Amino acid sequence: MIDLIRPLSAALLMFCAGFSASALAHNPMCECKAIDAGQIKCTGGFSDGSGAPGVTLDVIGYNETILVAGKLGADSTLTFRQPETEFYVLFDVGPGHAVEIDQADIAPP
């Protein structure tokens, strides 16, 4: 019986280790740039180079109101008019996997 448990334990350990490594290998990434005086373009994706079409990207005011509720398009981008109030961008891939970009970190055109 013990001879059967050891190989199963080793196989389970290898499976879990492989799953953890692959889950950690795809970290979310997002970059936002001002494309002119009034518009900002954000591009989202993952550290493995894959895109993120359909993933939520919201523009949120400092008072926590959602100013622009959006999702990345087929090209993994979202362009929006720059809010007149202070804001940050939240690229949210899921629990524990989000990127925040403060307006101060978005360079002018």
Asked if residue 8 belongs to a domain, the reply is no
Q: Domains in the chain: how many in total?
A: 1
In a domain, 20, yes or no: no
pLDDT single digits (tens) 11-58: 444 444 444 444 445 899 999 999 998 999 999 999 999 999 999 999
- Which has the closest alpha carbon to 31: 21, 40, 19? 40
Domain that holds residue 85: 27-105
C-alpha to C-alpha distances, 19 to 49, 50, 51, 88, nearest whole angstrom: 19, 18, 21, 33
> Are 34 and 40 a contacting pair, CB within 8 Å?
yes
Question: What are the backbone angles phi and psi of residue 28, rounded to the nearest 5°?
Answer: -70, 145
Predicted TM-score of the model (pTM): 0.75
Contact 89, 59 (CB under 8 A): yes
Q: Could you tell me if residue 79 is inside a domain?
A: yes
CATH of the domain at 69: 2.60.40.10
